[in-house]
Amino acid sequence: MSSEIPILDLSDFLAGEPGALEAVAKELQFAAENIGFFFISGHGVPQDLIDATFEASRRFHDLPEEEKMALKANEHNIGYMGRGASISRASQVYDGERKTNLVAAFFLKRELPADHPDIINNKRFRGANQWPSGLVGFRETAIAYMDALERLGKSMLPIYARALDLPAGFFAEAFSEPQYTLRLAHYPPAAAEDNQFGLAPHTDSSFLTLLAQNKVEGLQVRRTDGTWFDAPAIPGTFVINSGDMLRRWSNHRFLSTPHRAVASIANRDRYAIPFFFDAHADYVQECLPTCTDASNPPRYEPTTYTDYMLWFAKQNYAHFRDGKE
């Protein structure tokens, strides 16, 4: 299948083949600097686990609305947000008033033990997950999927480092315990109003986003000339894009490309399970040394995931905007 988005095969790299890291890093560098999206194959995540996670998402969204609202998203952005609870207006493509998104979503983060200091101290974005009762196997499947994608994300860090002309181990400390979010999204059949979307044009907040392929297409990507194209669903791959945190960290060297999800048409439910992968919540991200010089000074002050996400959440989510965080 031809695509404007390149496909990177990780098989040789993950197998430790000589020269594979440098080869795939060059491919990633081109994609990140010119497109902002790429597919990966040979990633090693079992298809059975991916399928089980899509099914877990479907089962959750099939619950009665009152059961889901009992798990309403909280100050850690963990839990359920129904249709109309998000507006995409925190990114570089926000162009004024936006209509609410037609997507419903359930957010999960790293599963921490009840006696973890961050749980006890109610550390922002490090809270306890809210789990639905009565969905046999749901929790186990979601945790297994998050564990698998954390491993995949960490395995790719040397590729990103070399693509940015840094030592392969450069990001090891920053991602000693990555911050991540799994969003189980449901795009129900809906009649969209003018300029309304399943998920309006936006850029992600993340370092990178991993999106397993869905049988029902709906992702659209904006070219650098402002036109849009449909991203194909290529079986057995993940589509990856860099987000605003990586764009910021790399001083705009790597793109954070705008994208959107179209509203689902009649009799067609669409599910998506994006995984947003970031550095440790408290790691201070300063402009990367290979992305600045005397003629290209840093565009941003150093920041952390926690500080940046506080701003992002207040821009995008009703429960933060309404002062209920």
Task: Find all residues with CB under 8 Å of 61, minimum gap 6, and list them.
Answer: 68, 104, 106, 184, 186, 271
Name the most confidently modeled range: 8-22, 98-112, 311-325.
Answer: 8-22
Kind and range of the H or E run holding 55: helix 47-61
- pLDDT above 90 as % of the chain: 72
Burial (0-12, 13-18, 19+ Cβ within 10 Å), 210 = buried
Burial (0-12, 13-18, 19+ Cβ within 10 Å), 61 = buried
Question: CB–CB of 254/242 below 8 Å?
Answer: yes
pLDDT for the residue numbered 103: 84
Residue at 292: amino acid letter: T
Task: List pLDDT tens digits, range 149-199.
Answer: 999 999 999 999 999 999 999 999 999 999 999 999 998 776 555 554 556
pLDDT for 263 beyond 70: no
pLDDT for the residue numbered 93: 54
Task: List pLDDT tens digits, range 32-44.
Answer: 999 999 999 999 9
Residues in the chain, total: 325
Mean pLDDT, rounded, for 280-290: 97
pLDDT for the residue numbered 197: 56
Angle between helices 138-155 and 47-61 in degrees, nearest 10? 130
CATH code of the domain made up of 7-321: 2.60.120.330
Task: List pLDDT tens digits, range 48-99.
Answer: 999 999 999 999 999 999 999 999 999 999 999 987 544 444 455 555 555 5
Domain ranges of the chain: 7-321
Question: CB–CB of 105/81 below 8 Å?
Answer: yes
Q: What is the mean pLDDT of the chain?
A: 88
pLDDT for the residue numbered 89: 47
State the Cα–Cα distance between residues 184 and 149, nearest whole angstrom: 14
pLDDT for the residue numbered 181: 97
Bridge-partner residues for 210, per DSSP? 240, 275
pLDDT for the residue numbered 99: 58
* DSSP-assigned letter for residue 112: -
pLDDT for 15 beyond 80: yes
State the Cα–Cα distance between residues 231 and 1, nearest whole angstrom: 11
In this prediction, residue 269 has a pLDDT band, given cuts at 50, 70 and 90, of confident
Question: CB–CB of 171/160 below 8 Å?
Answer: yes
